[in-house]
Structure 1
Amino acid sequence: MHRNKHFKRLSSQWQSTFRGNIPLSPTEKWHGAKSFRRRCKLLGDEQPLCVTTNNQRQRYVTKDGKCRVNLGHIKDKSRFISDIFTTLVDLKYLWFLLVFTACYILTWMSFGAIYFLDAWLRDDIAHVHDSQWQPCFENVDSYLSALLLSLETQRTIGYGSRRVTANCPEGVVLLMVQSITGSIIDAVMVGCMFVKISRPQQRAQTLIFSKHCIICERDEKLCLLFRIGDLRESHMVDAKIRAKLIKSRQTKEGEFIPLEQSEINLGYDTGGDRLLLVEPQTIAHIINDSSPFWEVGAKRLKRETLEIIVILEGIVEASGMTCQARTSYTQDEILWGHRFASCISLEKGAFLVDYSAFDKTFEVQMSPLSARNRSHAKDEESTF
C-alpha cells in the first residue's frame, strides 16, 4: 500500500516536471514514475521534487581508471568458456595461481587413478612380489605409487623403479595420451602466464592526470583544460587522447538515460589529439556551439551532475603493446576561472619538469557567463 502511494506521488511529480498537462495513460504514468525514481536514486538530481537528498553522482570511472560497473544476471555464461584463454588471463593472480596449480594436480591424480585401475584390473597388484609375473606397470602396488608414476611421466622427471613396460598396449597408449595432455596444459598455462605478466596495465601507473579540470580563456575562447604527464624516460609511441562526457538525461517521452555518452573534441579534426608525450601536456577542449559545455556557465556548473572520462592510449616503447590509462572528473573537480601553474623551466641547457607543480592552479578574473552567452553578448556589441 505504501509503495503504491509512493508511486502515485512520483507519477504526479514526473508528469508535472517533464510532461506538463499532457494526459497520460496509467502505464505511461507507472513507467515514467519508475524511471523518475531511478534517476533520483542512482544519480541524484537538482530538481527539488526528488525524494532523495543525495546530490552526488555515482562515479562511472574512478580516479585511477577503474570502471565501476558490475555485470549481473548473465544467463549465457558458456560464452566465457568458449573464450577460455581471455577468461584465464583476466583472472586475478590468486585465482590464476589456483587454476594453474589445480590443472596440474588434477591431471596427475586422474592419470594416477587410471594407472592404478588398469594395474588392478590386470591383477598386477596381487602379483607385485611375483618375479615371474609380467606387469604392465612395474612396482605399482598402490594409488600413491601410481600417482608417482603419473607425476614422473608428465613432468619427464625420469623413471626409477616404476615404469611402463611393453607387456600391455593400453599402458603405451596411456603414456602417449598423458604426454600430449601435459604438453597442452604447459602451452596454455605458460602462454597465459606470459601474457598476464607482460600486459601493459602497470605501465599506466606512470601516466598521470591532473587532479582537476579547469575552465578558462585561451586566445579569447572559453576552454576546458586538464594536464597529463609521463613519469618514465621511455616514452609512449603514437599517444592519443580522447574524452567522453557521461551525463544522465530524461527524454521528452519520459525515458531515463542514466549514462549517456557525448564526445568531447580534443582536436581530432586538427590532429591535436596526437601527442608527443615527453613533458607534461595541457589538453584543451574549445567550448564552441558543438561542445556539450556550450550553455554551461559558472553557476550552472555547480548544479550540473556530470562526469568527464579521459582516455590516454599509446604503444609502450619497450614491448610494443598498447597501453591505456583512464581517469575521470566530476563537476566538483572542474574549477571555473583557474589556470595551471607552469611546471617547466630551462636549466643547464635542458628543460626541467617540476612535477610538484603539476596539479597547482591559481585563480584568475573571469566572467561567469557561459560560452553561448558570451557569444550573444559579442554579437550584440558588434551590432551597436
Structure 2
Amino acid sequence: MVKRHHPTPPLLGSRNSRLNVIRRGVLRSYRSDLYHFLVTLSWPGFLALITLSYVAANTLFALAYLAGGDCIENAQPGSFRDTFVFSVQTMATIGYGSMYPRTNYAHGLVALEALVGLLGFAMGTGIMFARFSLPTARVLFSRVAVIAPYDGVPTLMFRTANQRDNFILEAQVRVTLVRNEVTKEGHFMRRFYDLQLVRRETPIFALSWTVMHQIDETSPLYNATPESLAEAETELVITLTGTDESVSQTLHTRHAFLSSEILWNMRFVDILSRMPDGRRLVDYTHFHDVMPV
C-alpha cells in the first residue's frame, strides 16, 4: 500500500529564492560560517547587527573604565556617559584631547580597545565591500507560464527580460520540472526532469527572451493536463546565468512556477513594436499579460 503524503510545498518557498526546507539533524552554527551569514544577511539586519555590536563593544569598555575608578582625566568620577564617550573616541581613534587616560590601567584598556577597534573596522569594511561587490542580476520573469500551440506543437513558454540598460553576455537558461512520483515498489519521491529547450542560450541578452519547451513524445509533460500537474504538485524551477558586461562578473538568478501558474491555451501579448524613427520599443507594461489562443 502506498503511503499518503501531505502536499509538498514549492521548493522555492517565495520569490526571494529561499529554499522552503526545514533541516533537521544538521548542526547549524553561525560562528562556524560567520562570513557567509554576514554576506547573505539582509541589509536592514546587517546594519542593525553592526550598530548593535558597536554599541555593545563601547558599553563593555565603558564599564571596564568605570571599574578602574577615576582613571580618565577630565571625566566625572562614576559617570557612565563620560566613559562611554571616551570609549567611542578611543575606538574610532578620534582623540579630541579633552579626556585622556591617567593611570596604567586606563592606558592598558586604551591599547586593547584601539586594537579591537582597528580589527573591527577592518573586518567591517571588508564585509561591507564584499556585500556591495556581489554581482546581482535584475532579471524579470513573467508571473505565469503558458502552454499553447507553436508551429503546430504544444509548447511551454514563459518570458524573461533584462531590466538593466546593458548586456548579459553568454546567457544560459535551464528549466527543471519537479513533481511527485511513486515508484513501482511504492516509494514516494520528488523527481527532477531537465526540459529540452528550443533555445537554451543567447550570446547577448538585452531585451526580452521567450523560453520555449516543445511538448512532444520525449517531454515529461507529454499527455499532461492541468489536473495531473496539480495532483503531482508540479513545479518548474528556472535558473539563468550569464556575464554582466559592465563589471565582467558572472551573475545568476532563479525563479519558480507552480502548477497553478501554468496557464493552458493562452499566449503572451506582443510587447515588441517599432517607433516612427525606426527604433524598437519594448512595452514592459504588458510583459505579464496573456490572451486566449
8 Å CA contact 1:62, 1:328 repeated in 2: no
**CA shift in 2, pair 1:320/1:186, >3 Å:** farther
- Residue aligning to 1:21: none
- Residue aligning to 2:10: 59
* The one of 177, 186, 189 aligned to 2:112: 177
- Residue aligning to 1:91: 41
8 Å CA contact 1:62, 1:327 repeated in 2: no
**CA shift in 2, pair 1:115/1:361, >3 Å:** closer
How far is 1:181 from its partner? 0.7
- Residue aligning to 2:219: 291
- Residue aligning to 1:161: 98
Residues 142-183 of structure 1 show CA distances to partners (whole Å, capped at 9, x for unaligned) of 252333332221112224332135x63x54443332112101
- Residue aligning to 1:190: 125
Structure 2: which amino acid aligns with 1:235?
F
TM-score norm. by structure 1 comes to 0.65
- Residue aligning to 2:279: 350
- Residue aligning to 2:259: 331
Q: Structure 2 CA distance, aligned partners of 1:70 and 1:272? A: 29
How far is 1:62 from its partner? 5.8
Q: What root-mean-square deviation, in Å, do the aligned CA atoms of Structure 1 and Structure 2 show? A: 3.1
1:77 aligns with 2:42: no
TM-score norm. by structure 2 comes to 0.82
How far is 1:362 from its partner? 4.1
Deviation above 6 Å: which 4+ runs of structure 1?
none
Structure 1: which amino acid aligns with 2:177?
L
Gap regions ≥5 residues in structure 2: none
Report % sequence identity: 26
Q: Structure 2 CA distance, aligned partners of 1:146 and 1:298? A: 69
Deviates more, 1:153-162 or 1:66-75: 66-75
**CA shift in 2, pair 1:65/1:154, >3 Å:** closer
Residues 329-366 of structure 1 show CA distances to partners (whole Å, capped at 9, x for unaligned) of 233333334433432223322222223443344444xx
Q: Structure 1 CA distance, aligned partners of 2:172 and 2:54? A: 43
How far is 1:301 from its partner? 5.2
- Residue aligning to 2:78: 142
Structure 1: which amino acid aligns with 2:192?
Q
Q: Structure 1 CA distance, aligned partners of 2:14 and 2:149? A: 26
Higher share in helix: 1
How far is 1:87 from its partner? 1.0
Gap regions ≥5 residues in structure 1: 1-14, 19-35, 44-57, 126-135, 365-384
Structure 2: which amino acid aligns with 1:185?
G
Q: Structure 2 CA distance, aligned partners of 1:228 and 1:354? A: 13
8 Å CA contact 2:142, 2:158 repeated in 1: yes
Deviates more, 1:330-339 or 1:176-185: 330-339
Structure 1: which amino acid aligns with 2:7?
L
8 Å CA contact 2:226, 2:259 repeated in 1: no
Q: Structure 2 CA distance, aligned partners of 1:285 and 1:317? A: 28
Residues 267-315 of structure 1 show CA distances to partners (whole Å, capped at 9, x for unaligned) of 5xxx732452222111112334443123435775576531111222334
1:107 aligns with 2:57: yes
SS class of match (1:191): helix
Structure 2: which amino acid aligns with 1:214?
V
8 Å CA contact 2:145, 2:262 repeated in 1: yes
Deviates more, 1:307-316 or 1:319-328: 319-328
SS class of match (1:88): helix
SS class of match (1:232): coil
Correspondence 1:1-384 to 2 at 5 A: 15=1, 18=2, 36-37=3-4, 39=5, 41-43=6-8, 58-61=9-12, 64-67=15-18, 69-73=20-24, 76-78=27-29, 80-117=30-67, 119-120=68-69, 125=70, 137-140=72-75, 141-144=77-80, 145-165=82-102, 168=104, 171-201=106-136, 203-204=137-138, 207-257=139-189, 259-266=190-197, 272-296=200-224, 300=228, 304-347=232-275, 348-364=277-293
Q: Structure 2 CA distance, aligned partners of 1:318 and 1:93? A: 24
Q: How many residue pairs are counted as aligned between the two chains?
A: 290
8 Å CA contact 1:113, 1:143 repeated in 2: no
Q: Structure 2 CA distance, aligned partners of 1:116 and 1:304? A: 66
**CA shift in 2, pair 1:331/1:71, >3 Å:** closer
How far is 1:248 from its partner? 1.0
SS class of match (1:150): helix
8 Å CA contact 1:139, 1:162 repeated in 2: yes
SS class of match (1:215): strand
How far is 1:184 from its partner? 1.4
Q: Structure 2 CA distance, aligned partners of 1:174 and 1:302? A: 65
Q: Structure 1 CA distance, aligned partners of 2:264 and 2:167? A: 32
Q: Which has the larger radius of gyration?
A: 1
**CA shift in 2, pair 1:305/1:349, >3 Å:** same
SS class of match (1:252): coil
Higher share in strand: 2
